[in-house]
A and B are shown apart, each in its own frame.
Chain A
Amino acid sequence: MCSIWQTNDSDRLLGRRLFVCKLRDLGLGVAALGGLAGTPAVQAQDAARVMTRLIQAGNSQGGAVDPRLKDIEKELRRLFRFSSYKLIAQKNVSLSQGSTQTLKLNPQFVLVLNLKSQSASQSTMSVQLQWNRRAIINTTARLNKGANLILGGPPDGAGGAWMLALKTY
């Protein structure tokens, strides 16, 4: 990119020219990076990354909350009267537009995800939650990046309930 010009001048002059040459190369490099970062190919996201967490909520002594649920603990405590929240399973998947993934979270719960559309900040997906081989919820939701969707209700037989947390990131 940069050729050294022929010169018979002193080393100082040559050094100055090399410095200017490096400056020029640096400027071109920065411009190239800027152009690259601004291109739609880099900004666009064709796939959605989804975090799925199966949570068992109950009223056990101590009221412990799994530290891996720290990001939603405050909201869970505000909305529900359960004292403990235990993370039973977590699976992270990457969905491309139009694709479907079936996740078996534990022997009781199966989740079927289908990504309908995807942009840089939003994902629209259809979700089916199966409990004991029965579909209990069919829903389509538009999730902004970082938002959580809780699908819950099935009792755990011990006074608690199951809930599934979906989050795109």
Chain B
Amino acid sequence: MNADNEHLIDDINGWSDEWLIQAYVDGQLDASCVCRFEERLTADPGLAEEVGRQMALKSLIQRDKLAMPPMPRIPREVERWCALAEAVDVAESEGTQFDSSAGRGFGNRFHSFWNQPLVQAAALVVLVIGLVRLYPIQGVGDDPDAIASTAEILSLDLPQEGTGAYVYEQAESNLTVVWVTGLSDGGGVGEEPES
């Protein structure tokens, strides 16, 4: 069984059958002990049956251990495993056959697609460009109130003789005034602005 004889058990005096069976099944006995124990097995069917059961159990454990899947290492695998588990639960509860393609459908790929940082950054850039296009950023000089507060006189002509005009243009005011003086209506004279 084990080639390394230094670590094998060579003295089994006083051992119970349970200990002997475990040591035999695990290959921990040396050749002489194995020989003596196998002589007992041929003579004792009950003991042989127990040994056979332990051997079968050991082979079962080893086989299952090899079939165990590796632990998922990255979140995407975790999601896939969760989706598979959910699909199994749904199939069991509905009494239908498990669809192994579950968890790998379009929705999952779509979700994975949007989970990529580059895609999210690109979507954010597109959103910002769209908002800026819809609502242009206004600089200090583009204040609509400041624009609205000015009216500029480009030319002025007073057809009536003897009349004059004051022109008030103030940047901080939303009024630009052209006030004509010297107009008479039955001898009256036009009012002038206070300032």
Q: Which residues of chain A have a CB within 8 Å of any CB of chain B?
A: 9, 13, 16-17, 20, 30-31, 34, 37-38, 57, 72, 75-76, 78-82, 121, 124, 131-132, 134-157, 160-161
Contacts and interface: CB of A to CB of B under 8 A. Distances in A.
B148 interface: yes
A151 to B, nearest CB: 5
Nearest to B156: A139
A148 B183 contact: no
Contacts of A141: 151-154, 176
Contact of B159 (A78, A135, A143): A135
Contacts of A138: 155-159
B190 A155 contact: yes
Interface of B: 105-107, 110, 130, 133-134, 144-145, 147-160, 163, 165, 168, 173-181, 183-186, 188-191, 193-195
B149 A144 contact: yes
Query: From DSSP, what is the main secondary structure of chain B's interface residues?
Result: mixed
B18 to A, nearest CB: 54
A16 B70 CA distance: 31
A144 B150 contact: yes
Contacts of B158: 136-138
Contacts of B155: 138-140
A124 B154 CA distance: 9
Given A131-B183, A134-B160, A141-B154, A17 B191 contact: no
A146 B144 CA distance: 9
14 contacts: A78-B173, A79-B173, A80-B191, A80-B194, A139-B154, A141-B154, A144-B149, A146-B144, A149-B176, A150-B175, A151-B178, A153-B181, A155-B190, A155-B191
B160 A148 contact: no
A104 to B, nearest CB: 18
B159 A79 contact: no
A146 B159 CA distance: 28
Contact of A152 (B150, B159, B177): B177
Contacts of A161: 190-191
Contact of B175 (A13, A82, A132, A148): A148
